């Protein structure tokens, strides 16, 4: 059933909530575990094909419905159709989450297939940094956009990369082997390949917006 884009779903979403985008099919055990243990799966359009390939049926599919190839389509899936071509299916899905009072989401399938989509998806994470708590998990990294102080959990000796995405961020770090103290990130390579000392590290953001990449330990 295709529903109105502005219709609020009258149900409680089971946690955790996962958005599966239409990138490469996840292969690493971490994103696969996340989707298998998701309480609610929301697919952007053709990502339903990947969800079914991973043995899960989504609760909601959002987009213009031009990329769905799964046959037969599982029963009970709610289809939210948008025809506006001025924003991406990921943006439509995040806006729909906000409309339905969803505040925290794990994002899968943001990377692969098309580099332009990958870069756009990271920029979209930055655009929603003050609206939603978003964590992207790929086959290689956990990724977050942040504009304020945050503590991160990790495995000791994890590779941590900090990339400026808006302005020239000023940051300090605690718990990394190469500490930064009110450092201005003037170029994209300045914060690449740091290493965590222990199971936690802290980034303080004084200005700007950054992407934080934590590489999986295996």
User: What per-residue confidence (pLDDT) applies to 40?
Assistant: 96
Which residues form the domain of 102? 2-6+13-139
pLDDT at 2 over 50: no
User: What per-residue confidence (pLDDT) applies to 67?
Assistant: 61
* 46 vs 205, more confident: 205
User: What per-residue confidence (pLDDT) applies to 1?
Assistant: 40
Distance CA 154, CA 163 (A): 18
Same-domain status, 150 and 124: no
pLDDT at 11 over 80: no
In this prediction, residues 102-111 reach a mean pLDDT of 96
Q: In which region does residue 175 sit, left (phi positive, over 0), alpha (psi from -120 to 50) or beta (all else)?
A: left
| Strand-strand pairing, 159-174 and 200-215 | antiparallel
* Domain end (from 139, 174, 201): 139
Report the predicted TM-score, pTM, of the whole model to 2 decimal places: 0.90
pLDDT at 204 over 70: yes
Same-domain status, 164 and 210: yes
* Domain end (from 115, 139, 163): 139
Q: What phi and psi, each to the nearest 5 degrees, are found at residue 52?
A: -65, -40
Same-domain status, 117 and 160: no
SS3 202: strand
* 166 vs 144, more confident: 144
């Amino acid at each position: 059933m295709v529903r109105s884009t502005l219709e609020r779903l009258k149900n409680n979403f089971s946690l955790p909530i996962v958005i599966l985008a239409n990138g490469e099919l996840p292969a690493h055990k971490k994103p696969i575990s996340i989707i298998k243990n998701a309480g609610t799966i929301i697919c952007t359009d053709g990502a339903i094909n990947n969800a079914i390939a991973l043995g899960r049926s989504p609760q909601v599919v959002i987009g213009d419905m031009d990329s769905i190839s799964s046959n037969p389509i599982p029963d009970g899936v709610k289809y939210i159709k948008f025809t506006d071509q001025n924003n991406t299916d990921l943006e439509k899905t995040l806006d729909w989450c906000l409309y339905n009072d969803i505040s925290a989401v794990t994002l899968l399938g943001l990377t692969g297939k098309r580099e332009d989509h990958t870069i756009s998806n990271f920029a979209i994470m930055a655009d929603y940094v003050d609206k939603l708590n978003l964590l992207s998990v790929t086959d290689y990294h956990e990724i977050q956009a942040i504009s304020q102080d945050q503590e991160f959990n990790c495995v000791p000796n994890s590779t941590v990369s900090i990339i400026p995405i808006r302005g020239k961020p000023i940051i300090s770090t605690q718990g990394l082997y190469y500490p930064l103290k009110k450092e201005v990130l003037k170029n994209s390579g300045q914060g690449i390949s740091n290493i965590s000392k222990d199971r936690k590290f802290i980034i303080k953001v004084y200005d700007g917006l950054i992407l934080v990449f934590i590489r999986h330990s295996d």
